[in-house]
Amino acid sequence: MIMLNETHDPSLQSWVASANESGTDFSIQNLPFAAFRRQGTDEAFRGGVAIGDQIVDLAALQTTGLYDGLAGKALDAAAESRLNRFMDMGKETWSALRLALSRSLREGASEQSQLETCLVAQADAEYALPAQIGDYTDFYASIHHARNIGSLFRPDNPLLPNYQWVPIGYHGRSSSLDVSGADFPRPCGQIKAPDADIPVYAASKRLDYELEVGIYIGKGNKQGQAITIDKAEDHVFGLCVLNDWSARDMQAWEYQPLGPFLAKNFASTLSPWIITTEALAPFRTNWTRPEEDPQPLDYLDSDQNRQQGGFDLKLEVLIETKKMRNEGTAPISIGLTNFDYSYWTVAQMVAHHTVNGCNLRAGDLLGSGTMSGPDTGQEGALIERTRGGKEPVDLGNGEMRTFLEDGDKVIMRAWCEQDGKRRIGLGSVESTVLPKL
């Protein structure tokens, strides 16, 4: 079961003043991990932990010798250029370092003077992917998204027969995953218009975003040994925000019979911070399946998953056009949904991924698939919001969008917020569409 501990106490305050502000993503109750260095330097990337608008430089903290025991061993690994070794050490080790950091960053901590020398302003930092991602699997876990997409092509039968029985996913390409701020050119490929006899090679005209949750695997499993659903989250290090870009016109032509290919593998962008599942514990929710729907097979079902399998995690997507930037106007929000709408839980995705003996490794990434809600305005992709490009979105400044144009910046962010609890934010992921090469 997901247990609360002293790090979740909503009354905790930090000697880092910005961590106590009500709207911060990075309160002392959060303490997420990233790989960073100072901008404009050739410093090595190293592990860091966010606190307010600052970063605790874990490599600098390591030199102080403050931590010993399990927390010290964890710090040695987390200070490396990527977090893989730390992630593979397991949840007891993750928790030990998080607890040590929490105690050192609280008001009145005796370690304040030493940790103050280890702080770097986030405004002065640049980021790399926090882990070396060996493999990437993207799921299709939102039934609202599946219905919205299916209704465009199969109005009378939008869900395929297997959807409510099996967590659908496909294996993506890890080499094109990048961190927030990594812009990319508009992709080119084969496109066949519905009324055309043959395809043409062209730049995508129906470029789209996908609002997703990224799930980082921590400790792996041996090949041939499945992870049970009640042990699945022991293997999950944390969550991030994921934008899995899609070229819808390329996808429509190539996806049959084997699914996504060039329409998906040109770019996927991740927020830099991994928020641990431990930090998210106060925002766990029960998971239910409508009685009229097929219930999960035994290997995908448990009392624990039903009681605490969900996350009350708000997800938002915004667009900033070139015109908005030139005029100094704010980005416009065009979608607000929640991870709690997911038809399949994180534990079910992990359990299903390994039920055949597939071995996951520390740093592997799972994508939730586009997260959409049941109502208008809760769509996680433009193809849904515009009903396949038939109903343009009014951006409120004289501009309309059916799909993305060159110069559009897409911003996604996620956070947990409830009365009586401290806000936990995942930060944001941002990237701009550049003209084709």
Residue 223, marked binder? no
CB distance 147 to 378 below 8 Å: no
Residue 292, marked binder? no
Residue 138, marked binder? yes
Q: Answer left, alpha or beta for residue 398, where phi above 0 means left and psi between -120 and 50 means alpha.
A: left
Residue 244, marked binder? yes
Residue 95, marked binder? no
Listed in sequence order, the residues at least 6 apart from 213 whose beta carbon sits closer than 8 Å to its beta carbon are 239, 240, 241, 242, 313, 315, 339, 367, 368, 371, 414
Residue 11, marked binder? no
Beta bridge partners of 214: 240, 367
d(CA 239, CA 218): 11
Q: Answer left, alpha or beta for residue 282, where phi above 0 means left and psi between -120 and 50 means alpha.
A: alpha
Listed in sequence order, the residues at least 6 apart from 191 whose beta carbon sits closer than 8 Å to its beta carbon are 199, 200, 201, 202, 204, 205, 249, 250, 253
Residue 342, marked binder? no
Residue 64, marked binder? no
User: Tokens standing for 329?
Assistant: 């106007």
Cα→Cα distances 54→31, 123, 185, 194, 405, Å: 11, 8, 32, 52, 34
d(CA 427, CA 36): 15
d(CA 51, CA 46): 16
Residue 255, marked binder? yes
- Judged by DSSP in three states, 236 sits in strand
Cβ neighbours of 147 (radius 10 Å): 15
Please give the distance of CA 294 from its chain centroid, rounded to a whole number.
Answer: 28
Per annotation, catalytic residue among 145, 235, 352, 353: 145
Cβ neighbours of 53 (radius 10 Å): 17
171 tagged catalytic: no
CB distance 79 to 58 below 8 Å: yes
Give the amino acid at 304. Answer: Q
Cα→Cα distances 283→32, 106, 156, 304, Å: 16, 22, 37, 15
Residue 303, marked binder? no
Residue 212, marked binder? yes
Per-residue DSSP letters for 166-218?
S--EEE--GGGEEETT--EEPPEEEE--TT-SS-EEEE-SSEE--EEEEEEE-
d(CA 136, CA 314): 23
Q: Point out the annotated binding site for Mg(2+).
A: 244, 264, 268
Q: Point out the annotated binding site.
A: 138, 140, 154, 210, 212, 244, 251, 255, 264, 268, 370
Q: Point out the annotated binding site for substrate.
A: 140, 154, 251, 255, 370
Please identify every residue annotated as catalytic: 145
